[in-house]
Amino acid sequence: MSEFDLIYRYFATKFPQRSDVEQGIGDDAAICNIPPNMQLVTSIDTLVAGVHFPLITEPEDIGYKALAVNLSDMAAMGATPVWMTLALTCPEVDTIWLQKFSEGLAELAQIHQVSLIGGDTTRGPLTITIQIAGLISFNTAIKRNGAKPGDNIYVTGTLGDAGLGLAAINQQVTLSKSANQYAISRLNRPTPRLQESHDLLGIAHSAIDISDGLLADLGHILEASNVGASLQIDNLPLSTVLCESVPYETALNLALSAGDDYELCFTTSQTLDSYTCIGKIEADLGLRCLTKEGDILTPKMVGYQHFF
Ligand code: ADP
Ligand code: MG
């Protein structure tokens, strides 16, 4: 099969078609129309086999996650994802793998109506790069640098589940069948919080998606905004599965540091019911983790870092 046939077979037809795509796959570059009064928001994320996902991960899940982590970056900005390009490096042309990978990718693309407008295909160690493009009304994006002293800090969903899934794969913990299914699905198929992010436009002062762990990612907000924070550790949203699978201290450490949850962490001066309030932004620099007894807790790890 030629590279051309391969692209058309797996990547040209099963993705949503959008009327704002003037030229999609098939020319030297893609052409898209940006509506007036909108800004283009772009981001790129690479998944390397064995680094960003375990080697045993199913191809459908790799496709799904590769897009999910990129959509999560759009959610963190308050942008609506519309187009993507895919750079795919594979060790060989494995048609079964490609079929399944493209199905997982297309499944999530259909849900959010994201069009695949081009890409690049090369031979080498399995690596998936997606560049996502989104739109946002002029000057309404939610950035990391807008947190203000007095803001409440919120997170969506629950934290630590993806870390539990990874610990199960690495045989650091043994889970019941249903707990394992839940944790692995949280690891492999994170839910990009696009609806929540849309609802937070005009409300959130700052936001980030939690890819490297709450402590590390909230740390980015604090640094960019030149503020500090107190976290109420006992208010962290933990799933029943997490609480029932590991001791409380382990659950807290996973929630604080494991990453890969792709929940949103955001700050706002408002009080909101739909999300969990985990602390407050303060003028004093630094991050203070407080227990409900008021003790200061020093967490064990500070997020996953690839090179440092
Ligand atoms: P060129 O040689 O001009 O770089 P290619 O032969 O690499 O072009 O690609 C031909 C067309 O197929 C282009 O429109 C490109 O964007 C698209 N394409 C290549 N690989 C992929 C892929 N993995 N997914 C989606 N589109 C792809
Ligand atoms: Mg060309």
Ligand 1 pocket: which of 13, 25, 123 to mutate (most atoms within 8 A of CB): 25
In which residue are the tokens 């985990």 written? 278
Which overall architecture, per CATH, does domain 144-290 show? Alpha-Beta Complex (3.90)
In short, whether 25's Cβ falls inside 6 Å of ligand 1 is: yes
Name residue 287's beta-bridge partners. 229
Rounded distance between C-alpha atoms, residue 300 and residue 256, angstroms: 9
In short, whether 228's Cβ falls inside 6 Å of ligand 1 is: no
In short, whether 28's Cβ falls inside 6 Å of ligand 1 is: yes
Residues in the chain: 308
pLDDT over threshold 70, residue 303 = no
C-alpha 99 to ligand 2 mean position (Å)? 25
Instruction: Say what the pTM is.
Output: 0.94
Ligand nearest to the CA of 11: 1
Sign of CA dihedral 6, 90, 187, 291: negative
In this structure, the residue with its CA closest to atom 5 of ligand 1 is 120
Helix (H, G, I), strand (E, B) or coil at 234: helix
Chain centre distance of CA 147: 20
The hierarchical CATH code for the domain 3-137 is: 3.30.1330.10
Q: What is the pLDDT of residues 15-59, one digit of tens each?
A: 999 999 999 999 999 999 999 999 999 999 999 999 999 999 999
Query: What residue type is assigned to position 44 of the chain?
Result: I
Chain centre distance of CA 82: 16
Query: What residue type is assigned to position 237 of the chain?
Result: P
| Band of pLDDT at residue 299, cut at 50, 70 and 90 | low
- According to the model, what pLDDT value does residue 308 have? 36
Structural domain boundaries in the chain:
3-137, 144-290
Name residue 87's beta-bridge partners. 120, 129
Which value, in Å, is the radius of gyration of the alpha carbons in the chain? 20
Rounded distance between C-alpha atoms, residue 76 and residue 73, angstroms: 5
- According to the model, what pLDDT value does residue 257 have? 93
Q: What is the pLDDT of residues 67-80, one digit of tens each?
A: 999 999 999 999 99
